Amino acid sequence: MPKELEIETDVEELAIVITPEVQKRFDEIITQIRDEIDEKRIEQIEKAFHFAANAHSGQTRISGDPYITHPLEVMGILTELHVDSVTLIGALLHDIVEDTGSTLDDVAQEFGPVVALLVEGMTKLSALRYDTRSSEERQAEYFRKMLLSMAQDLRVVMIKFADRLHNMRTLEVMPIKSQIRIAQETLDIYAPLAHRFGVGKIKWQLEDLSLRILDKVAYRRIAERVTMDRDERENALNNVIEQLKIHLKSEGINAEVLGRAKHFFSIYNKINRRGKSFEEILDLLAVRIIVADIPDCYKALGVAHNLFTPIVERFSDYIAMPKGNMYQSLHTKVMDKEGHTIEVQIRTREMDEIAEVGIAAHWRYKEGKSSRIIREDNLKDYYRWLRQVIEGSKEEDSSEEFMQTLKINLFTDEIYVFTPKGKLIRLPKESSPVDFAFAVHSDVGLKTLGSKVNGKMVPLNTRLFNGDSVEILTSANAHPSADWLRFVNSSKARSKIKRYFKQTQFEDSIRIGEELLQRELKANKLKMSRKEILDLVNGAGHESPESFYAAVGAGDLSVKRVLKDVIGEVTQTIEKRNAARQSLMRTLKRDTSNVRVKGADNLMIAFGNCCSPLPGDRIIGYLSKGRGIVVHRNDCPNIADLSKDPEKLVDVDWDVHGGSLFNCRLRIYGEDRNNLLKDMADVFSKMKVSVVELNLRSEGSLAVGTLVVQVKGLGQLSRLMNRVSKIQNIVKVERINVADVAEKIV
Ligand code: MN
C-alpha cells in the first residue's frame, strides 16, 4: 500500500474516532482550565485525549454513546475540583488497560511512570466486583484490595470518585439489578470515602443519585415536599440573609451570604435515623457566610449572635479544631424573632473551597499560575489513615473484624481532646480514656491503670467529649482488661487489645502444651530427642514445636492421641491420665495464682484488676473468655454484673504458701503538712511493705493519696491500715477498687 494512502486512512479514522460533539465537549472542558494549567501541560492532555479516543475507537457504552465520552466526562468532573494535569491525564486513560489492547507499558512510555501508576491503580480497582449478597469474607477482601490500590497514590481516589459519579449519572441504561448493586456499593463505600477525603461536592451527588435508585418512593416524596411551600421558605430565608448582609456591612465586614440547599439524602437520613419530621428539617433555615480571613469569621459570628438569639450549646469551632478531612468552619445555631431556627456556617473562601473539594485541594494550583499552598501534612494524614485501616486489620483478623474496623473508620465522626501538654489528639466519637491512651502510644495503652479527665479521676469507660483534657496514669504492672473491648471505640485500641490477648494466651498455651507432652512422656517412661519431638510435631501436621504446643495447650489437640502411634498402644488408664493432669494443674496453679479451683479444668488464672483480692478475702472465680478464671472478691461490684450468667461462676479457695505478695489499692485522706509523706514512708518500711505506686495530691489543705501496696494477706493489710491511720493528721484510710478511684475524689 502506498505511503500517502496509509496516512490518509489514518486521518479519516481519527475523524471518525472523535466526533464533532466529542471534540466540542473536550474544547469546552479545556477552556475552563486554561487559566490554571500551562500550555505545555494542556498539550499533554490533548495528546492523552487522542490516545484514549484511538484506543477506545469502535467501542460504545450501553447507552450507544462512543466510549470516549465516559473518560472525557470523568476528566470534566475532575476539572471542577481543579486537580493537576497528571490526574486529568490519568482520568482520560483510566479504562484503556482494562478495556483495550493498550498496556501499562504503552502508557508509561507515552505519559511517564506517574500516569502509568494511576492507570494501574484504576485497572486493579475495576477488576474488583462488589456484591452485597456475597460472603462477608469476600466483601472484606474487596475493600482491602480497594484501599491498597488507593494507597499507592491518592490521586487514584480522586479519579475513582469521578469515575463513579459519572457512572451513577448514566446508570439508568443498566439492568435494574446492576443499578441496585452499584448504587448500594456507592452508598456503602464511595460516599463515605468521599466524605472521609473531604470531597463534599462529590459526596452529596453520590448519595442523592444512590437514594434515587435504592428508595424511589422516598426520593419522590422528598422531592415533592421540598417543592411544597418553597416560596414561603425562600422568603423567610431571604429575609434572614438580607438582615445578615446589612449588619455585617455596618460592622465593616466584607461578606458573601448565601442560602444552602438541603440535599435529599441528608433529609432522608434525618427522617429515618434521627426520627425528625419534614417540617423540622425544612423549617430550619441554612445560611453560609463567606468572609476574607479568620478574624472576620469570628467577627461575623459576633454579628450573627447579636442580631439573633444564639442557641448556645450548638456552637462548634472547626476553625480552631479542623475535622480529620480538613474541613474548617464555624457552626452556630440561632433563632430569629419569628422563631425560625437558623443554622449558620461561617468560613473563609479558601475553607469553603476545601469543604467542596477536600483532598483535591492538595494538587491544586501547584503547577499552575497561582502560588497558593495547601499544607503538606494533610496529605500525610490521609496516607496514615489509609495505612492504619489496612494495617489495623492484618491477616490474623477475621473478615468480620476487618469490616468492623473499616466501618469504625468510615462512619464515625470525630472528637478532639488534649494531652496534659496541650497536644491535640483526634479520636472517633464516643471514645474512652483507653482509646486516648492507645492513640498517644501503644505502650501507654497497654500499661494504663487509670485516667483523669479535666483534672478529675474518672473510670476508664468514661465517654470523652470535644475539648477534654485527658491524662493517663500508667503502671508497669498494669495490663489490658478484656472489659475494655466492651467500650473502646477506636480501631487502634481494639486491635491492640485483641492482639495482646491473643499473644498472652498463645504464650500460656505453649508453656502448658510443652509441660503436658513432657508429663505424658514421663508417665510412659519415654524419652525423646529434639529430633524425635520434631518428627512427632510434623507427624501431627504442625511445622514448629511452638504451634504444636499451642494446639495442645489450648486443648485442640490431644497428646495422648498423638503419642498413641509412638507408643503403639495406650498404656495409661483413664484414671492415671486424669491423675497426671490434675497434678500438673496443681503445680501450675500454685505457680501462677495461689488459688485452688474446685473441680474445674481451666488452667489460666488471673486476679480481677477491679478489686484486687487478698488472701483472707472471700473470693469467687469467673470463667472469662480469653482470660481463663478471673478471681474477684465476693463483694466486688463487677461480680453483680458477671453473675448474670451463673454457669460461669466457679468456686475457688485460697491456697497460699509462703512468700506470695498481693497488690492492694488504698486511699488515704489527711490534712496536708510537712513530712507527711516521709512519715508514711517510715511506716511502710518498718512493716516491710513495698509501695508499688503512689499518687499524692493536695487540694487546698487536704491531701489525698492513692497507692498500691504489696501485702501477704488480709491480716497484714489490717495491721498496716491501723498503723497508717495513727499517723498524725491522717483522717481516714480505706481499701478501694479501681472503679472507686473515680467518683469519690472531687
Ligand atoms: Mn470508568
Q: pLDDT per residue over 450-460, tens digit each? A: 889 988 888 89
Which residue in 384, 411, 383, 396 sits closest to 191, CA to CA? 411
Contact by Cβ (8 Å): 291, 300: yes
Q: Which residues contact 403 (CB under 8 A, 6 or more apart)?
A: 136, 139, 140, 143
Which residue in 267, 549, 292, 501 sits closest to 396, CA to CA? 501
Checking DSSP bridges between strand 605-607 and strand 628-633, what pairing results, if any?
Answer: parallel
How many angstroms is it from 87 CA to the middle of ligand 1? 14
How many angstroms is it from 24 CA to the middle of ligand 1? 21
| Distance of alpha carbon 667 from alpha carbon 704, whole angstroms | 7
98 is catalytic: yes
| DSSP tag of 617 | B
Residues constituting the chain = 746
How many angstroms is it from 205 CA to the middle of ligand 1? 17
β-strand partners of 615: 617
More confident residue, 548 or 289: 289
How many angstroms is it from 70 CA to the middle of ligand 1? 7
How many angstroms is it from 456 CA to the middle of ligand 1? 55
> What is the CATH code of the structural domain delimited by 226-366?
3.30.460.10
Domain 380-498, CATH class in plain words = alpha beta
How many angstroms is it from 149 CA to the middle of ligand 1? 15
Cβ neighbours of 245 (radius 10 Å): 14
CA–chain centroid gap for 83, Å, is: 28
| DSSP tag of 649 | E
Which residues, by Cβ under 5 Å, contact ligand 1, an ion?
A: 95, 163
Q: What proportion of the chain, given as a percentage, has pLDDT over 70?
A: 81
Q: Evaluate if pTM is beyond 0.85.
A: no
> Is the pLDDT reported for residue 602 higher than 90?
no
Three-state SS for 406-458 is HHHHHHCCEEEEECCCCCEEEEECCCCHHHHHHHHCHHHHHCEEEEEECCEEE
Residue of 98, 141, 283, 336 marked active site: 98
More confident residue, 570 or 89: 89
| Distance of alpha carbon 664 from alpha carbon 630, whole angstroms | 16
How many angstroms is it from 155 CA to the middle of ligand 1? 15
How many angstroms is it from 668 CA to the middle of ligand 1? 69
Residue 89 Rama label (left phi>0; alpha psi -120 to 50; beta): alpha
Mean pLDDT for the stretch of residues 417-424:
82
Q: pLDDT per residue over 93-117, tens digit each? A: 999 988 888 889 999 999 999 999 9
**Residue 548, Cβ density class (10 Å: 0-12 exposed, 13-18 middle, ≥19 buried):** buried
Which runs of E-coded beta strand occur in 294-340? Answer: 309-310, 316-317, 330-335
> Is the pLDDT reported for residue 133 higher than 80?
no
Q: What proportion of the chain, given as a percentage, has pLDDT over 90?
A: 24
| Distance of alpha carbon 9 from alpha carbon 236, whole angstroms | 64
| DSSP tag of 462 | P
| DSSP tag of 359 | G
Checking DSSP bridges between strand 285-291 and strand 255-259, what pairing results, if any?
Answer: antiparallel
| Distance of alpha carbon 513 from alpha carbon 40, whole angstroms | 70
In this structure, what are the phi and psi dihedrals at residue 686, rounded to the nearest 5 degrees? -60, -35
Mean pLDDT for the stretch of residues 201-210:
94
| Distance of alpha carbon 462 from alpha carbon 467, whole angstroms | 14
| Distance of alpha carbon 686 from alpha carbon 307, whole angstroms | 71
Q: C-alpha grid cell for residue 714?
A: 488480709
How many angstroms is it from 31 CA to the middle of ligand 1? 23
Residue 341 Rama label (left phi>0; alpha psi -120 to 50; beta): beta
Which amino acid, one-letter code, is at 192? P
Which runs of E-coded beta strand occur in 499-618? Answer: 595-597, 605-607
Indicate the range of 95-99, 266-270, 647-651, 716-720 predicted with least confidence: 647-651
| Distance of alpha carbon 46 from alpha carbon 51, whole angstroms | 9
Sign of CA dihedral 202, 207, 212, 213: positive
Q: Which of the four pLDDT bands, split at 50, 70 and 90, describes residue 371?
A: very low
How many angstroms is it from 97 CA to the middle of ligand 1? 11
Q: pLDDT per residue over 154-169, tens digit each? A: 889 899 999 999 999 9
99 is catalytic: yes
Which of 3.30.365.10, 3.30.70.3270, 1.10.3210.10, 3.30.70.920 would CATH assign to domain 3-173? 1.10.3210.10
Rg of the chain taking only CA atoms, in angstroms: 34
Q: Which residues contact 719 (CB under 8 A, 6 or more apart)?
A: 687
Element holding 255 (H helix, E strand): strand 255-259
How many angstroms is it from 47 CA to the middle of ligand 1? 19
Element holding 258 (H helix, E strand): strand 255-259
| Distance of alpha carbon 145 from alpha carbon 143, whole angstroms | 5
**Residues 733, 739, 745, 746, Cα dihedral to 10°:** -160
| Distance of alpha carbon 744 from alpha carbon 668, whole angstroms | 12
Element holding 28 (H helix, E strand): helix 20-33
Element holding 566 (H helix, E strand): helix 559-567
| DSSP tag of 464 | P
| Distance of alpha carbon 181 from alpha carbon 213, whole angstroms | 10
More confident residue, 615 or 591: 615
Q: pLDDT per residue over 247-270, tens digit each? A: 999 999 999 999 988 889 988 888
> Is the pLDDT reported for residue 636 higher than 90?
no
| Distance of alpha carbon 463 from alpha carbon 283, whole angstroms | 33
Contact by Cβ (8 Å): 623, 629: yes
Quick one: pLDDT at residue 609? 67
Quick one: pLDDT at residue 79? 93
> Is the pLDDT reported for residue 171 higher than 90?
yes
How many angstroms is it from 663 CA to the middle of ligand 1? 63
Mean pLDDT for the stretch of residues 665-689:
82
Quick one: pLDDT at residue 486? 84
Mean pLDDT for the stretch of residues 114-137:
77
Contact by Cβ (8 Å): 396, 502: yes
Mean pLDDT for the stretch of residues 600-611:
61
How many angstroms is it from 391 CA to the middle of ligand 1? 28
| Distance of alpha carbon 430 from alpha carbon 465, whole angstroms | 8
How many angstroms is it from 689 CA to the middle of ligand 1? 72
- Buried residues in 607-619 as b, exposed as e (16+ CB within 10 A): bbbbbbbbbbbeb
Domain 662-745 = CATH 3.30.70.260: yes
CA–chain centroid gap for 463, Å, is: 16
Q: Which of the four pLDDT bands, split at 50, 70 and 90, describes residue 519?
A: confident
Cβ neighbours of 376 (radius 10 Å): 8
How many angstroms is it from 167 CA to the middle of ligand 1? 7
In this structure, what are the phi and psi dihedrals at residue 361, rounded to the nearest 5 degrees? -60, -25
How many angstroms is it from 94 CA to the middle of ligand 1? 6
Residue of 65, 80, 99, 671 marked active site: 99
Which amino acid, one-letter code, is at 359? I
β-strand partners of 332: 344
